[in-house]
Amino acid sequence: MSLRRTVLPATLAMVLAVTAVADEVVLIPNSTVKGAIGGRVRGTIQTESPTEVVVKLGNVTTSVPTGEIASIHYDGQSPSLALAEAKESANQLSEAADLYKKAATEASGKPFVEQAAKFRQAQLVAELALSEPARVNEAVALMDAVVKAYPNSRHVVTTLDSLARLQLQKGDYAAAEKTIADMAKLPQSADRAAVLRAKVFDKKGDHDKAIAEYDRLIQGAADGSLRQREARLAKAESLVGLKKFAEAEADLRAVIQASPPEDFSAQSAAYNTLGDCLRAAGKPKDALLAYLHTDVLYAKDKEQHPRALAQIAELWRELKREDRANEIMERLKQEYPRSPWLSASRTSP
- The four Cα atoms 112, 117, 123, 125 give a dihedral, to 10 degrees, of -160
Measured over the CA atoms of residue 49, residue 125, residue 121 and residue 118, the dihedral's sign is: positive
b (16+ CB within 10 A) / e for 300-323: ebbbbbbbbbbbbbbbbbeeeeee
Name the residue ranges covered by the structural domains of the chain: 13-73, 259-349
Of the candidates 76, 157, 61, 71, the one whose C-alpha atom is nearest the C-alpha of residue 111 is 76
Mean pLDDT of residues grouped by 10 in the chain (349 residues)? 39 40 88 90 95 94 93 93 90 91 94 95 90 87 94 94 89 93 90 89 89 90 80 90 94 90 89 96 96 94 91 95 95 86 56
pLDDT at position 347 is 41
Looking at 2.50.20, 3.30.160, 2.30.30, 1.10.3470, the CATH number of the domain 13-73 comes to 2.30.30
HEC-encoded secondary structure of 270-322: HHHHHHHHHHHCCCHHHHHHHHHHHHHHCCCCCCHHHHHHHHHHHHHHHCCCH
Of the candidates 238, 330, 259, the one whose C-alpha atom is nearest the C-alpha of residue 301 is 259
Assigned fold of 259-349: 1.25.40
Longest distance between any two alpha carbons in the chain, whole Å = 92
What is the model's pTM? 0.74
pLDDT at position 153 is 94
**Could you tell me if 159 and 122 are in contact, meaning their C-beta atoms sit under 8 angstroms apart?**
yes
**Could you tell me if 95 and 83 are in contact, meaning their C-beta atoms sit under 8 angstroms apart?**
no
What whole-number distance in Å separates Cα of residue 247 and Cα of residue 9? 57
Q: How many CB atoms lie within 10 A of CB 166?
A: 23
Q: Which amino acid is at 243?
A: K
pLDDT at position 2 is 36
What whole-number distance in Å separates Cα of residue 310 and Cα of residue 272? 11
Question: What 3-state DSSP class applies to 328?
Answer: helix
What whole-number distance in Å separates Cα of residue 250 and Cα of residue 268? 16
What whole-number distance in Å separates Cα of residue 346 and Cα of residue 340? 12
Question: What 3-state DSSP class applies to 156?
Answer: helix
How would you class 229 by CB atoms within 10 Å of its CB: exposed for 0-12, middle for 13-18, buried for 19 or more? Answer: buried
